Amino acid sequence: MKRRILGGTGISVSEYAFGAMMLGEWGNPDHEEGVRMLHTALDAGVNFWDTADMYSGGENERIVGKALKGRRDDVVLATKGFFQMGSDPNQGGLSRRWLTRALDDSLRRLDTDYVDLYQVHRPDPATDIEETLSVLSDFVRSGKVRAVGSSDFPAEQIVEAQWVAEKRGLVRFRAEQPPYSIFNRAIEAAVLPTAQKYGMGVLTWSPLASGWLSGRFVRPSDVDLSEGRRTLQAHKFDPALPANAVKFEAIAQLKKIADDLGRPLTHLATAFVRAHPGVTSAIIGPRTPSQLDDLLAGADLELDDDVLDRIDDIVPPGTDLNSAEKDYTPPALADKHLRRR
């Protein structure tokens, strides 16, 4: 497994990161199997593990904590905070009040006294970025956190955070975690170049486009909207929507490229993400040991210019095949009252 340096931190991380989101109630409820999967990945050279407080209501961090026993020094550990963890409005967001508690709760569940990368899971329009960076700086100075990062930040908010950190003498974001896949390429236009400009590491998630590039979906009848999260995310999966219907033709063309390489579609998809010079690590999120084995087997694939050009012809650079799939919508677009006097 190849290694890269995470931004300017000097921390060496694997090209794959194990995204543990599917371990626990949301995916695989067998804790011991989850621990074995994390150990299998680590033994294969995947030293970068990513989780978050809200995954399966904290259960995910507890599974990761079990897997860390006796191997903490071998793992570069990342977790995140922001989403609601209770009914009280103050049990979420990026305020000093909440993040101080959120980090301590994560450390307790993970059964460790520090995390290598603590990320704010989404932008918080209710909290001044200086307030957030101030408490994150205190985390670093206390030794509870080695480096801090953002997730799903638009390019302009990445720039603002860097500017505020410089002007106020605060710890700056060293990494950004955006979605990135062959089907979701919008970050190529501004987010990736901005992260590169500021020397930030980039830890991308969903290289299989929420499962579209797993090889499971070849025709519309393959999509079962009654299955778990696909019910809640019909805008991403409903084949009756034109923006999703076009995915099947794209999959057929991508499958042809993968077949020409003698590889499964999953290998092509993950290799595409790793090919971008702005990407430090691609998060893989297996639910089962067999899925993990398949993804690990693709770690050696490198795509040449001809293959990347063929992919560009299918999904143009800087575009999302389905523009409705954004996981963060700025308040100015989400709240109509902000656009009307």
User: What amino acid positions are annotated as catalytic residues?
Assistant: 55
Residues whose CB is less than 8 angstroms from the CB of residue 165 and which lie 6 or more positions away in sequence, other chains included: 133, 171, 172, 173
Long-range contacts of 186-190 (CB under 8 A, 24+ apart): 186/318, 186/319, 186/320, 186/326, 188/276, 188/317, 188/318, 189/318, 190/154, 190/155
Rounded Cα gap, residues 61 and 117, in angstroms: 14
Beta partners for 12? 5
- Helix/strand/coil for 18: strand
Q: Which residues of 254-281 are buried (b: 16+ CB within 10 A; e: fewer)?
A: bbebbeeeeebbbbbbbbbbbbbebbbb
Which residue type, as a one-letter code, is found at position 7? G
What would the two tokens of residue 273 be? 């993400």
Rounded Cα gap, residues 53 and 215, in angstroms: 30
End-to-end CA distance of the chain: 55
